[in-house]
Structure 1
Amino acid sequence: MILFILIDYVLGLYLAIKKKSAKTVSGGLSSEVSFSRLVKKFLLMFVVIIVCVRLDLLLGLDIIETAAMMCFIINEAISILENCALAGLPIPEKVIKILDVMEKDNNKQ
């Protein structure tokens, strides 16, 4: 999971340096945005994983933590794909359409 976060972070920095970032108004690099997003991401994951571990222990399971980690990994993989597309790397058209549909669904909510 940490590997996915690091890859996503490095790709995000690359996009910001190239002025293609969707995270800032100018599309450029912002240490404040970069740091706050990274801290928020790690804190959220840490809290959710801790709660899931405790639930697993309480219920005698070992699936809740795994499911939560898989959700985080999938989310990071989607972000990596989006960043790769923004960076101009070759992404299959079908994958780009799926990402576009997901983006439109997120904007409706």
Structure 2
Amino acid sequence: MRNSTIFSGIIGLIGGAFTTLFGGWTAGMTTLVLFMAIDYVSGLIVAGVFQKSTKSETGALESKAGWKGLARKCMTLIFVLIAYRLDLLLSTNYIRDAVVIGFCANEFVSIVENAGLMGLPLPAPLKRALEVLRNKAEFEENANE
């Protein structure tokens, strides 16, 4: 057997297991993973090219901040897995979808923030929505201290 055949088989097995674990591959999952990748790459661009990252003290690329971002993305997928398992437990089929949609919205906000840090002009309603979300997050953070 050729090495490429073995490698392809292993990748297929891992992909199949991953897909089964998350309850199948849906448009929502594709969208979430795509948004996560765009957010991560745009964050790298903000830090590496524009040096305006809010995740590091200097605004530049920092490996620790990058690893934290990847850890958060993994935790997002763990929440999707948990939601799918809850769907199975409760004989429902909407918890995973709701979690995926919520995380897609969160990734979208982060992508828009990154675009703003790059200097992309944002429409006024989008700026106001981001400001409201930031203020809400700061309020909740201060309330928890």
Q: TM-score, normalised by structure 1?
A: 0.93
Counterpart position of 2:103: 72
Q: 2:69 aligns with which of 37, 42, 45?
A: 37
Deviations 1:34-63 (A, max 9, x none): 012212321x12321121111111111110
Partner of 2:118: 87
Larger Rg: 2
Code of the residue aligned with 1:94 in structure 2: it is P
Q: Return the alpha-carbon distance in structure 2 between the equivalents of residues 54 and 99 of structure 1.
A: 32
- The amino acid that maps onto 1:74 is A
- How far apart, CA to CA, are the structure 1 residues paired with 2:85 and 2:62? 36
User: Which secondary structure does the structure 1 equivalent of 2:45 belong to?
Assistant: helix
Partner of 2:80: 49
Q: CA deviation at 1:101?
A: 1.3
SS in 2 for 1:26: coil
TM-score (norm 2): 0.71
- Counting aligned pairs with the same residue, the percent is 36
Distance 2:52 2:77 in 1: 29
Q: Where does structure 2 lack aligned partners over 5 or more consecutive residues?
A: 1-31, 141-145
Structure-2 residue corresponding to 1:60: 91
Please, what is the CA RMSD of the aligned residues? 1.0
